[in-house]
Each structure stands twice: as C-alpha cells, then as structure tokens.
Structure 1
Amino acid sequence: MGGEFAGVPAITHLDAVARRFPNNVAISDDTRQITYSDFLIRVLTLARAIAAVTPEGRAVGLLLRHSIWHPIAMLACMAAGRPLVPLNPRDPDQRLAHIVANAQISVLIGQGDSSSTKWIDEDGLRWIDITRANEFSGDTASLESISVDAPALVLYTSGSTGQPKGVVNSQRSLLQRVQQYADACHIDATDVFMPLSGPTTIAGTREMLTALLTGARLHMADVEALGLRGVLRQIRSQQITITYIVPALLRAVVAASDTGDFESLRVVRIGGEKVLWTDVALVRKVVKPSCFIQISYSSTETTGTQWFLPDDCKEGDFSIPPVGYLLPGMSFAVVDDNGVPVPTGEVGELIIKGVHVLLGYWENGQVLPALPDPDDDRCRIFPTGDLVTVDARGLMQMLGRKGRQLKINGRRVEPAELEVVVRRIPYVSDAVAIVTDSSELIIFASPGVEAKATFTADVRDVIRQTLPTALHPTRLHEIAELPRLAGGKIDVAKLKVLDTESRRGPGPPQPPGAGEVKQAEKMVAQVWTRILGTTDVASRWDEAGGDSLKLLRCVMELEELVGQELNMEAFTVDMSAADMIQIVAAGGRSQRQQVAGELLPHLVMLPGSIGYGPSLAAFGAQLSKTAHVIPIRYPDLTSALTGCGSVDHMATLALEQINAVHPRGDIRLIGYSLGGGVAFEVAARLIAEGRSVKFLGILDTNIGPRRSDYRETLSRTLQRVRSHRVTMYRMLCRAIAKCVARLHWEVKFCRILDARIWTHLAGTRFMLKLELEEILRMQEFGRWVASAKPRLPITGTLFLCNRRGSPAHLGWDSLFAKLEVIPIAGGHLDLVIDPHLTVNRPVIERAITSSCS
C-alpha cells in the first residue's frame, strides 16, 4: 500500500479506487449492489449533508441495522471531518440514549423515518435519512481538508466504571490497520469480503475499510438475520474469498456446513477472542489446502499482532495457537504487577506504545487524551490488561485477562458494568458478577425489602432494557446474602460452587399434548441441554444462559431435527421455551411464524417501478399482523445497464429472496403496479416447481390495451407534485431521463454522469439515475406486457381502482382460471397512502386471510 498510506485521508484513497475501478461492484448484499463510481457519489453527497448540519468538532451518530449504508456513512463522516459514533440498534433504547447524551450527539444518520424510535424525537435530535441525503446538502456545504490525526471514529465499549466508554481512533490508526491487512493478505480488486462481525465494532470497521480502499467487493451479511444456513449460502453463492470470524461463531458455522461451502475462501482471519487448536482443526478440515489461516490479536484501542499459521504448526508445538508477531510501527513491553518487565517467556501484562494507539476516550463531546509516552510526544501508551507470553522470536501467546474482563463473541465485557446496573435497582440490596472458569458471565443478586416474588424476572427485565446482549448474564441467581471471606471480600470460589450446584436441575417437563407438540418438546429439550447445559426448559432463552450466537446454533440444530429450515425471524433471545416449542411444532407442518397463538402466512410483496419505498414499506408494516411480509428488491441501475433488468431477471432475483426466507410450503404474493407483472411471473415459476400459490393479489396493474391520454398524464403529474411533494426539479430530472431512455443513450449518459467534472452536482446525478432506473424498469414491464403469457390454474385477485377508459379487468381476465375483482379506493398513486389506506387495508387483509381457510 505504500509507506505513506496511513498519512493520506480515506476519501482520497476512495477517490483513487473509484477512478481505477468505476464500474466494479463496491458493495453488495443479498438483494442489491453499488458500483465504485456510484458509491463515491453517495459518500460525497452524504458528506456534504453532514457538513451542512453538523457543527465542526461535533460527533455524528449512526443508527442503522446491518446494511450497505454503514460504510457509506462511515466514509462520509471521515470526508466531512466529523467523528462518527456507530450505534447498535439492537441495544436497549436506554443505553443508546445514554451514549447519545454522553457523546453530545445532535445529528443522527438512519434510514427512513425516525418516528419509530421514541427517544430520538424526545431528545430533539436532527435526523438524516441516508437514502435522501441530497435534500440536506445545500449549495454552501463544502468539504474542508481533513487531518488524519483528528478524531474519526468513536466506538463505545463496556466500561469498568459501570458505564459504556467511547474509544476514539483517528483515521491514521484505522488506515494503519487497513495497510497491514492488505499488505499481508495481498488484497486486490478480485477479492470478495464477507466479514462476519458487526459493523459497529472495530473489526467490522477494519474489514469494511480494507475491502473498499483496495478495490475489492464488500458483501454485507447480517448473521443474526440470515441464520447459519443463510450465511453459508452467501459464502457459496457470492464466492467469498476473505472472511473474518470470531471462534465461537466459527464453531457454529462449520457445524452447520456441507462439503464445498468454503471452497472459494483463500483467507480465513480468526480473532476477537482466544483461538483453540480445535478451531484451527475445524478450519483446516473444511477449506482447501491452499487457503491461508490468519490469527490476529487487537482491541478497539490498538492494533496488535497477526500471523499466518504455518501448515506444519500443530498442538504439540504450543499449548494454544499463538496470536502472532507484533505489527510494524508498534512497540511493546510485558510487565508484572509493579510495571517491571518480565523475562522472555514469562507471563505478564501486555503494554503497547505507538502513534497508532487510541487518541483517548470521548467524554462530553471531546477527547480525554490517552496516556502519553514521556519519551516521545507523538506516541501514546495503552495497558491492554491482557496476560501474554512472548518467546525469543517475538511470537506471542494470549493466556487470559488481568482482572475480571472477558470477551463474549468477540466483544469485550466488563462485569463491573453489569454489577453497577443491578445494584442500582431499588429492590436489590447487593449484587456481584463473576466469570466462571469456562468464561461465562454470572450475576448473583440479593433481594431488598421491596422485592417481589418475581424478583429474578424483574431483574432480568431491567438488564434486558439497559444493557446490550453481550452483557446479559448466562445465569442469574437470587441469593439471600453474598458469601464473604474473613477479610470482608466476596468469596468468589463459594459462588462458583453455588453456580455449579444450581445447574443440576430437574428433567424437562412433559405436559400432555398433541403429537407434534410433544415431539417439539423433546427436540427443544434436547437442544437446550446440548447448547446450554441445562435440562430445565421452563424459562426464557436468555434466563437459561442463551445469547444470540447460541440461538443461531439452536435454530440450526432444531432444523436438523425437524428436517427443514425454520423462520429465523421467529426466534428471539427473550423467547420462552413454550414459544420455541410452538414455533417448532408449527414449523414442522408449514414453517409459518406463530404470533399471538395464530399461524401467519408468508406474503411476498413485490413493489412497483420505484421499488420498496417508504409508502409501500409502511403498508407492509401494517400488514404484519395478518401475514409475515417478505419485501422484494429488484436489480439496480447497474444491472439494468448490463442487460439484467428485465421482468424475467426481476422474477429470478425475487425467487432467490423468497427461497432464502421461505424455501418450502405454500406461498402468497401481492404485487403493485409493475410488481403485479413480476408477481405473476414468480407465481408461474413456483407452480411449475410444484409449490402451491394460495393467493396472488394484483394491486391496480394495467396490462390491457393502452391509449395515449395526455389529460390523464397531466393529471398524474400534478398529483405527483401535489400529493407526494415531488418538486418541479425532480420532474425535470424525470423528463431528461425519459429522453435518454427513448434515445437508448442510457449507458453513455451514465458514463457522462460518472465523469469527475460533475462531482459538484452529486445530488442531481443521484436523482437522474434514480429516475432513469424507474423508467428502464417500466420499459421492461412494457415488453413483458406485450409478450405471450401462460394461463395460471389458480384464482387471481385484482384490487381495482376507479379507472376511466381502462379495459375491463385491466387485461387479467384471460390469465387466470378465475379472477376475483375487488374495488378499492383512491387512484393508482395513492391507494396505499392515507386516507385511502384506511379503507383499503382491511379489504386487502380480508382477502389474504380468506386464502388461509
């Protein structure tokens, strides 16, 4: 990467990559992809929006679920010179609100409307919808030159004081990690990254930056949403070459894998917690002999070591696999409790020094500097708290932690933070957290005078509402009084004995029930015993010591027992054993989600030419009590320009998304506008495959003979402007895009838009491409309408608006064995928008529900 790589801002590197590989895919997920030229435009557009609304020096919060928008926001903040604070939306609102207040964040970046999160509006935070960032960037918003030594990223970790602490890293320290990673692994534009770590962690940040600043493709995959089998499908289908994974997840993924799932991998990087020889053996068993295994050690505060495990390195050489050699640009010492260096090969605490160590900690909107090096004012010192040994060659082994800190699924956890939260509960008189010999986090709590009979459940609820999942204890014990030694200290040894004894509980309850439920009870009891080490399935998953990663393993093992895939979204860490039993019993029949005692059908929602926008998303959310909605994404503009944007391609991509969520059983579809045609095509393929299509709803899609009606066109245009607040500026962009499409100049037009001379018009470029994408989809829909179509042997349901001059049944009457026509309120553009939605939704819900009878 060059010796000066870490001294040049990230946006400069991204610009160079985009110039070199403009049409290469920069980011993808299971539904869409973005080229490097488009990615750079989105980054710069958002950067100007951030600079326009965020005071200099103030941090910007990022509240997004795992998605392709994360790296866009990260690099945009770096380009704007504003520190970014990534927030995990799966954390409790109370914790998120505390971090926002501590960091003095006034601007939050998210996707869609902020009203779904109550505390955002209550705190008066400025919300930037990342999908509409061009609306925030004014003409005066400009990007200043950025220092790579200024605060760039603030990651909040578990704190020993009982509160999360914000670790501040500069661009220089982040780019150094990228440089070392890229140089060691020889990363280039042919690589495909799929990091199996959260984007709000330092590992996730490193993986995203490394991929995007080297021209590789970054494939985003949310492990908790996809499940283990979904992750494996992505590795195989996307031909992933490099992945980062923590040992606990590695064990679960390998256990769920089939032969050939990892054949595309050339580098597997393992880190985040202690790596065992069994982990190395697992990887060697499933990857090709040519695949490199890289073991690394680092923390949020500093990078550390890495090495490629030699093929001949085995358990007899070391008790545990070494974590490698110290990386260039760092110096270290291994010291005893008095700070005195220990002899080579002896155990001591690792101290790291260098210019790439954290800048400090973020408190009240500013940096509290890290420990300075008295001999070099450019360097900083970080006592890691890790106990290590370093041999004469400089090869380091990680043995444990100094104190009680531990890592759970790669996330550092301070037991003191759990203790503080529990001790602050009014009805708790005392509490202590311990770490077992198997690195489990346990909490003992003594009830106070105000405690109720539901004491442990109440304490669990407070923990769940206050702390992130990693800090939820494996077990919570109610104890009248904490045992103490003669000197008054807590008797930790006695507590460990009490914890061990408590796990010898009674066998699983066997209440009478139907055959499927009794079988599900046996399956759940079997899996709970194997994963959680308990036969007591009378409690919730988290109360029994389960976390999100263990839940992934649980679902995978249940799938093996049931013999089919289960709906991952139906499983949550706070579910009870009874909930899981009912879901497994239902999944054994039809794989439907059970909510409030009723089985919900899967409903595939196929949007119009605009895509799955806010209006349709809101409509889908309102249908969630009637059906489990599966929203479909279409190929983007890049695909359309390469000839992959036809209705046929849309249907192919839709089928892939359907099979990823609901691969078996009957199906229901509903399509709006263009989506009606795609839904018809998907239904034809599903029926040909032998699957049962129970419902096919068409939302006001006209495929009959058309006539030019300029009055109707003008009326719709005015309605778009009036009802949807579409500006004349956007209508002008639409007109330009229509002209380009009619002249078949779309490819040449996009190349012109991607030219660097138009950088200052990033918002206009984005809007022109958005309109062109919609128009090209409608052109493809027109071609599909004109093509021959089969007659489906099912009943179709047409939801028909009041259309004057349109053909009867909008042309659908000859394409179904039977067609049911249901009138609905409003026009084509506002049928799923209030006030018409209030009338139409119950009508549509009744039609869907009737298909279940």
Structure 2
Amino acid sequence: MGTGFADVPVFDHLREIAGRYSEKLAASDGTNRLTYSELFRAVEALAGWIEAVVPDGNAVGILQANSVWYTVAMLAGMASGRPSVPLNVRDPDSRINEIVADARLSAIIGDKGLHGLDLPQHVAWIDMAQSLQATPHPAAHRVVSVDAPAIVLYTSGSTGRPKGIVNSQRNLLCRVQQYVDACHINAQDVFLPLTGPATIAGCREILAALLTGATLQLVEVEAVGLRAVRGRMQSEGVTITYLVPALLRALLADEPADAFGSLRVARIGGEKVSSADIRLVRKAVPPNCLVQIGYSSTETTGSQWFLPHDWPEFDSSAPVGWLLPGISFAVVDEEGYPVQPGKIGELLIRSPYVALGHWENGAVVPFEVDPGDQTLRIFATGDLVQIGSDGLLRIIGRKGRQIKVNGRRVEPAELERVLRGAPSVKDAVVIVTPANELVAFAVPHSGAGASFCDELRQLARTKLPPALCPLRLHASAEIPRLPGGKIDMTTLAAIDLSVRETTPPPQIPHAGHEVPAHQIVRRAWTKVLKTRVALGCWDEAGGDSLKLLHCVMEIESAIGQELGLEAFTVGMSFDEMVAAVISAQGGGEHAPAWKHEPPLLFLFPGSVGYGPSLASFASAISKVARVSPIRYPALGMILQGQNTVAAMVEAAIDHINRVQPTGCVRLLGHSLGGAVAFEVAARLLDQGRAVAFTGILDTSLVGERSKRWETITRTFHRIRTNRISASRVACRALAKVAVKMHCESRLSSFLDRYAEGQFNPTSFRTKLELQEVLRARAFFQWLTEPRPILPITGTLFRCARPGMPLALGWDRAFVHLDVIPIAGTHIDMVVEPHLTINRPLIENAVTETYSSIESQKREAVSST
C-alpha cells in the first residue's frame, strides 16, 4: 500500500479507486448493488447533507442494517469530517437511546419509522433514500485530518454503561494496510465479512475491500440464517471472509460441501481459536486457502499470522501470531514491572495507532501519552498474555471480568446495573465462569413473587443485547462477602456449581403420540446445545442467538423447508419453537388465521435456483405473503435422469403437499419457474385442489433465442459492469459445450475427481453452470410439448420485450390472462432499483386473491 497510505484521508483513497474501477461492482447486499462510481456519488451526496445538518465537531449516528447503505453512511461521515457513531439495529431501543444521549448526537442516519426511539428534539433524522434522491447539498470539499476523530464504537463498559472508543482515520488505515499487505488483497477479491458493521473488525473489512477495488458482499446473518450465508458464499465466489470461532462452528456444523470452495483467506479472530476450530476449517476450505489468526481490540492493533498446515495440535487455543509493526509493547506484572521471558503478564501497547481515547459528552477524553513522545499513546489491554521463545503471542485470559461472547465484548457490570435497577431487586452480582458464562445472583426485596427470576430474565432481554443476558440466574437470600467487604466470587461459583449438579433439568415427557415437529425440534435442540431439552427457555438451556441460528438450520434440513427467522427468539421455550415450526409448515392447531398472518406463496425460481436475489425479494414481500421457495432436483439427480420439467413438478408437488396439505394454493414462477408453476397448477387442479393465484414472472412461451451478436454484446456489458465475471463466462461456455456434446456426466465426474488444489476454485462454479444449462435445456424441451388450457386466471408480469407479443403466448394457456407491465429486464426485475417499482404491483396482484376468496366465503355464509 506504500509508506504514505495512512497519511491520506479515506475519501481521497475512495476517489482514486472509483476513478480506476468506475463500472466495477463495489458493494452488494443481495438486494442493492453499487458500482464504484455509484458508491462514490452516493458518499459525496450524503456527505453534503451531513455537513449541512451536523455542526463541525459534532457526531452523527448510523442506524442502518448491514447493507450497502450502512457502508455509504460510514464513508460519508469520514468524508464530511464528522465523527460517526454506529448504532446496532439489533440492540434494544433503550440501549440505543442511552448511547444517543451519551454521544451527544446531532443527527442519525436511518429510517425513523423502524425504531421506537425516545430522542431529544435537537436530534435530526437524515433519511438515506430521501437524501440521495433529493437535490444534494454541495459538499464543502474541506480538508479532513486523518488524526481527527473519525468513528466512535460503543462497547460494553466496566462502569455498567456503554463506553465509546474513538478511532481516527489513521488508526483505521493502519489496520487496513497491515491486512492488505499481509493477504495481498487486490481488485479480484470478493469479501464477505461475517461480523457486525458496528465493530472495529467490520470497519476494517469494509475499508480493506473498498480501498483496494475489491467487491464487498454484505449479509445480515441474524436476518437470513446460516444456510443463506453459505449459499451467498458459494454463489458469489467469495475469496476472503472474516468470522469469529463461534460462528465458524455453527456454519461448518455439518461439513457443507463446496460452500467454501472459492476461499483463499479465512481470517479468524475475536475469540480464542481451538484445535477443533482449525480442523473444521481445514475440512471445509481448499488446501491452498490460508488461515489467518489475529488479535486486536477496539482500542489497538495487536498481532496476526498465517497458521502453517503442519502446525502441531495445541492445548487450549492457538497462538494469535507475532506482534505487528508500528507498535512497541511490554508484558508486566501486577506492580507494572516487566515479567521474565515466557512468563504471564498484562500486555501494554504503545503506538501512534492506539485509539485517541474515550468519547464522553460529545468530546474525546484522551488516552495516556508517552511523556517522551506525545504522538505515542499507551494502552493497557487488560489481556493476560505469554510470549514464547518463538515470538508468538498467546492469550491466556483477562485481568478483569470482561469476556467476549460470539466476538462481542461483554462487561458483567452492565448486566448488574440493569438487574439492580429493577424495583424487586435489593442487590445483584454477576460472575464469569471458567467457560466464559455469565451467571447472575439477585437478592429479592421482601414481597417479591414466585416469578422473580423469570421477570428478571425478561428485563435483561428487553434492556440488553443477547450477549449480555445471563446463562443462569439464581435468587439468593444475600450476597456472600469476604471479611474485607469484597464479594466472595469463589463462594458464588461454588453455589452455581452445586445448583447445577443437584438440580437436573426437568424433562419434557416422550409421549407416544408426539407429532413429527416435536421430534424434529427435540433432535435439533439437543444436538446444538448438547443437553437434554429442559422446560425452560432457549437461553436458560445455554443457547444464544448464534446457536439459535444453528438450531433453525438443523430444523430446516430435517423438514426440507426454509423457515422465517423472525419467528425464533432466544427467549422462546421448546413448545414455542415447536409451534413456530408447525406454523411455518402451514398446518396444525398453531397455524395462524389469514387475518393474522399472510398465507403461503410458493416461489418457483429460474434455472439458477433460489439464490440471494430471490431470497431478498421474498423478504421484501413478507408482509403480504409467507414465501416458501421450491427446490428442484440438484445436479446429481439431474444426471441420473431427472432433468425434465416433470421431475421438477414432482419435487414441487411433494413440497406443497407437505407444507400446505389443504387450502387454496398460490404460485409464483420466474423464468423456468413459470413453466413449472403452470404444470404444478394443472396437477393440483386435477387433484381437486384450489389454485387461487398463478403468477408468471416474465416467462416466454414463444421460445425466442437471442442472436449471437446480441448475446456477445450483453455478456460483454455484464462483465464490464461486474454483473458476472469472465471466469464465470468461461465456466458456462465449458458447460454448454459439454451438454452439446452429451458429455455432461463425464464433465461432472472430472470435476469431482480433480476438485482438489488449483482446480477447486472453479469446480463448484462449473458444476453450478452445468446444472443451470441442463435445466434450461429441460425448459426448451417442455416448450415443444402440448399444454392444456387451465380453467383459471393467470397473471403475467411482463418486462419490456420489443417485437414480442404482449401475452408472450400465455393467452393460449389460461382461460383468462391479466398482463401487468413491470420495470427492468428478465434478469434484474426483482432487484433494486426495479424492485421498488415492481414490488407493489406483485403484492397487489397477490393480495387481490385474498379479498376475492374472503368475499366468496362471506357470500357462502350469508346464503346459508
């Protein structure tokens, strides 16, 4: 990156990269996509709005999900010279309000309607969409110092309140430079950081991608689930990812094949990394993928290294590498004196790249500086470390009570403050077990009810992030103390251990008539938590939000259906989880009435399958329909002879009968999916089922083929705008040649046999292209076959197709056809910016079937 890289502001770096890679894809969140030129213009426009609304020196909050718009907001804050404060959208509103007040924010970038925040009148809202669509405020083109406050990251504080840590652009650019130089990051890389944007790791990953011309893929893990993350990793050909060990274990729980085949760097940090973690990674990634382990904190950089393939097994955790350039350090004892080499002590770091200080009342409270050099700041990490004879740093533990849960910093004092604030609590103490578990003890006031502990658990869930909620909570007559008055932590730990040993969790009886959903949830629950199912809630049994995602993925695998994550919470009981699964399957006593929850809509994807774009579309229309995606036979089954539309119909009918065995069925198909949806409607009608809606997303029955020159021109444009890569075009060409020569089975066998080493990164992509080409062939074969005329109304959503008939042939397939013109092309009709226009049109068409059926029901009731 060059010796002067950290001397240049982020916005100037971005301007240079945007000029070099103008039409290349910069960032995508599955719904929105921005090229570098579009990203730069958006950042410049929003920076002008920030300068107009936020006084110089004041901070601006960012309340955005992990999307391209969060990235725009973060970069615009740096471009405007105003420090930005990322706010975690998944934190409780009360905690967000507390941070807003402490940071003295002048404005918040976000959607005001999504949160019930109690904000002072002087805090302005900057709506992202409106600010980018309206006439922009001209940016002042001011000179921004790389040493001024740039970003304030709030962590759990030892005082019991969230604590803001201030980093400058120089601090951030130093981290980026160390990362880029070590990993040789370049414009061909595709990033998928699996960490929240409101973290120091999230900031580093975003900047490392966008300041090198790479492509940044963003995903909200808690919103889409683990299965979608693995699908995104595979479909986008991700080369670099960052994740914490807890997420790593959940993602790799069942050793997914091919999902990580394109990775060249897997960076692991945030927590201790065990031998088991490394074995999981080695099984999932290609042999030539580098595994990088690092250590840092919000306040300072630390160490990193690449774990050698032949590194021997380690006891409790892997070393975290060699200390990085640009810092000096000391390992000291309790009195502050250096320890002997190889001994354990607290790590102190002195560097110009240490954070500026804490953010209090809208200003920086500086960290200690070196008396001999005012440019060097000193930070006591609180981490107990050991440096071996090989120079490798090993993390042994913490000096204080601070721990990390799923990579998030946690201070027990914040939980204690919330518990002590409850009217029913006389006193409360939180301890940390050797297994990094939070265990709370609360002394009730006289008159506290039998539900004392349950009420406190619910209070913690509503006031604190999931990582700060206690694993166990005990009511205690008093808090034991030592003779000097300090809390007796040893006695409290012994009490907790005694309660666990003497009170086995009560069991849900295994009833002989237990329905399949109970059995499935029971197996997933016990597999993930490695414990028997208790009568309490998920978090009481040892589960957290990450383990909940793992449990949902296990349930999805068992039922063959994707589930909506909004129905699952860490505070739910076993019975509530069963009810959520039954409801998602569309049957049983727990299934909600239509007036309370939208009915199912079965979505039939095109030849590519159900990917990120359709998943985002499904999420966008979730208020009017619960989308249940249809899965077609995969490549292995296709090569065994199931490569016909009829085979896809069989798979779809089986899915529909399992998910919605009774009631009116609604179908929506895109491209190839339109043909499958039509045939499914015909089969259901023959079976006596009611088909309330059959929607066709721009499927043509005319069977037109593009001219060779049109295909070449379109492909070149998609490569130039980074819609597809040149390597993907080559893989598709190979797949087409193999199918044309009837050698698809040989090609698949060849890819399976030589999928190791240098062949592995392209193997999975070629197999995906082969699968798509074979499905497309099945569609064109179907076009030549005779079709019935269905005695129902069909709805065609038609893109602009010059020279093509309006109905695209569907007027000869239904007794009545509604044609609705929509924006975009066949490929991008359900992604932004076209989704904003098309979503209401699709929703209205689907919703009309609800009202018509309800009217028929009312007429039937009145007639009787």
TM-score relative to the length of structure 1: 0.75
Counterpart among 234, 246, 249 of residue 248 in structure 1:
246
- Alignment partner, residue 570 of structure 1: 567
Cα deviations by residue, 1:281-328 (Å, 9 ceiling, x for unpaired): 221222222111111000011111001112222126x76311111111
Residues 441 and 832 from structure 1, CA distance in 2 versus in 1: closer, same or farther, beyond 3 angstroms?
A: same
- Alignment partner, residue 41 of structure 1: 41
Aligned residues: 723
- Alignment partner, residue 102 of structure 1: 102
Shift of residue 343, structure 1, vs aligned partner: 1.1
**2:417 aligned counterpart, secondary structure:** helix
1:434–1:441 CA contact under 8 A, matched in 2: yes
How does 1:715-794 map onto structure 2 within 5 Å? none
- Alignment partner, residue 400 of structure 1: 397
How does 1:516-527 map onto structure 2 within 5 Å? 516=515, 519-527=516-524
Shift of residue 440, structure 1, vs aligned partner: 0.9
CA distance in 2, matches of 1:563, 1:789: 31
Shift of residue 584, structure 1, vs aligned partner: 3.2
How does 1:130-209 map onto structure 2 within 5 Å? 130-134=128-132, 138-209=136-207
Residues 158 and 219 from structure 1, CA distance in 2 versus in 1: closer, same or farther, beyond 3 angstroms?
A: same
CA distance in 1, matches of 2:787, 2:696: 19
- Alignment partner, residue 347 of structure 1: 344
- Alignment partner, residue 460 of structure 2: 463
The question of 1:60 aligning with 2:60 is answered: yes
Counterpart among 228, 231, 255 of residue 230 in structure 1:
228
Residues 116 and 840 from structure 1, CA distance in 2 versus in 1: closer, same or farther, beyond 3 angstroms?
A: farther
2:248–2:277 CA contact under 8 A, matched in 1: yes
Q: Which amino acid aligns with 2:44?
A: L
Shift of residue 628, structure 1, vs aligned partner: 2.1
Residues 686 and 697 from structure 1, CA distance in 2 versus in 1: closer, same or farther, beyond 3 angstroms?
A: closer
- Alignment partner, residue 709 of structure 1: none
CA distance in 2, matches of 1:105, 1:604: 45
How does 1:573-652 map onto structure 2 within 5 Å? 573-585=570-582, 594-595=591-592, 601-603=599-601, 620=621, 623=624, 627-628=625-626
CA distance in 1, matches of 2:618, 2:284: 40
1:831–1:840 CA contact under 8 A, matched in 2: no
**1:96 aligned counterpart, secondary structure:** helix
Instruction: Give the unaligned 5+ runs of structure 2.
Output: 605-612, 631-648, 685-690, 701-712, 722-782, 797-805, 821-836, 859-864
- Alignment partner, residue 325 of structure 2: 328
How does 1:282-361 map onto structure 2 within 5 Å? 282-315=280-313, 320-361=317-358
Q: Which amino acid aligns with 2:574?
A: A
CA distance in 2, matches of 1:323, 1:207: 19
- Alignment partner, residue 452 of structure 1: 449
The question of 1:496 aligning with 2:493 is answered: yes
Q: Which amino acid aligns with 2:16?
A: A
- Alignment partner, residue 260 of structure 1: 258
Residues 831 and 258 from structure 1, CA distance in 2 versus in 1: closer, same or farther, beyond 3 angstroms?
A: closer
**1:34 aligned counterpart, secondary structure:** strand
Q: Please say which of residues 684-693 and 487-496 is displaced more in the overlay.
A: 684-693
Q: Please say which of residues 590-599 and 417-426 is displaced more in the overlay.
A: 590-599
Shift of residue 256, structure 1, vs aligned partner: 3.1
CA distance in 2, matches of 1:84, 1:847: 52
- Alignment partner, residue 434 of structure 2: 437
Shift of residue 237, structure 1, vs aligned partner: 1.3
CA distance in 2, matches of 1:151, 1:163: 21
Residues 76 and 158 from structure 1, CA distance in 2 versus in 1: closer, same or farther, beyond 3 angstroms?
A: same
Shift of residue 686, structure 1, vs aligned partner: 3.8
Residues 115 and 600 from structure 1, CA distance in 2 versus in 1: closer, same or farther, beyond 3 angstroms?
A: closer
In percent, how many aligned pairs have the same letter?
47
1:334–1:342 CA contact under 8 A, matched in 2: yes
The question of 1:417 aligning with 2:414 is answered: yes
Shift of residue 526, structure 1, vs aligned partner: 3.9
1:229–1:556 CA contact under 8 A, matched in 2: yes
Cα deviations by residue, 1:454-497 (Å, 9 ceiling, x for unpaired): 21121112111211111111122222222334444333233223
**1:433 aligned counterpart, secondary structure:** strand
Counterpart among 829, 838, 843 of residue 851 in structure 2:
843
CA distance in 2, matches of 1:31, 1:592: 35
- Alignment partner, residue 510 of structure 1: 509
CA distance in 2, matches of 1:127, 1:574: 32
- Alignment partner, residue 683 of structure 1: 674
Shift of residue 341, structure 1, vs aligned partner: 0.9
2:677–2:694 CA contact under 8 A, matched in 1: no
Instruction: Give the unaligned 5+ runs of structure 1.
Output: 607-611, 633-654, 672-677, 704-743, 753-786, 801-808, 824-828
CA distance in 2, matches of 1:141, 1:134: 13
RMSD value, Cα: 4.6
- Alignment partner, residue 362 of structure 2: 365
Q: Which amino acid aligns with 1:362?
A: W
2:600–2:628 CA contact under 8 A, matched in 1: yes
Shift of residue 692, structure 1, vs aligned partner: 7.8
Q: Which amino acid aligns with 1:374?
A: P
CA distance in 1, matches of 2:6, 2:95: 33
**2:276 aligned counterpart, secondary structure:** helix
TM-score relative to the length of structure 2: 0.74
1:592–1:601 CA contact under 8 A, matched in 2: no
1:508–1:525 CA contact under 8 A, matched in 2: no
1:791–1:815 CA contact under 8 A, matched in 2: no
Cα deviations by residue, 1:498-541 (Å, 9 ceiling, x for unpaired): 3234334244222758542xx43344344434433543532222
CA distance in 2, matches of 1:329, 1:848: 74
Cα deviations by residue, 1:420-451 (Å, 9 ceiling, x for unpaired): 11111111011111111111111111211252
CA distance in 1, matches of 2:34, 2:232: 17
1:592–1:600 CA contact under 8 A, matched in 2: no
Residues 484 and 262 from structure 1, CA distance in 2 versus in 1: closer, same or farther, beyond 3 angstroms?
A: same
Cα deviations by residue, 1:638-676 (Å, 9 ceiling, x for unpaired): xxxxxxxxxxxxxxxxx9xx99x99995796688xxxxx
1:58–1:82 CA contact under 8 A, matched in 2: yes
**1:194 aligned counterpart, secondary structure:** strand
2:585–2:659 CA contact under 8 A, matched in 1: no
CA distance in 1, matches of 2:540, 2:184: 45
Residues 813 and 289 from structure 1, CA distance in 2 versus in 1: closer, same or farther, beyond 3 angstroms?
A: closer
Shift of residue 115, structure 1, vs aligned partner: 2.4
Q: Please say which of residues 377-386 and 281-290 is displaced more in the overlay.
A: 281-290
Shift of residue 259, structure 1, vs aligned partner: 2.6
**1:62 aligned counterpart, secondary structure:** strand
2:382–2:400 CA contact under 8 A, matched in 1: yes
Q: Which amino acid aligns with 1:510?
A: P
Q: Please say which of residues 534-543 and 246-255 is displaced more in the overlay.
A: 534-543
CA distance in 1, matches of 2:151, 2:785: 54
Shift of residue 629, structure 1, vs aligned partner: 5.6
- Alignment partner, residue 274 of structure 1: 272
**1:48 aligned counterpart, secondary structure:** helix
Shift of residue 332, structure 1, vs aligned partner: 0.7
Residues 622 and 794 from structure 1, CA distance in 2 versus in 1: closer, same or farther, beyond 3 angstroms?
A: same
Shift of residue 141, structure 1, vs aligned partner: 4.1
The question of 1:478 aligning with 2:475 is answered: yes
2:598–2:623 CA contact under 8 A, matched in 1: no
Shift of residue 544, structure 1, vs aligned partner: 2.8
Shift of residue 402, structure 1, vs aligned partner: 0.6
CA distance in 2, matches of 1:662, 1:173: 54
CA distance in 2, matches of 1:134, 1:590: 44
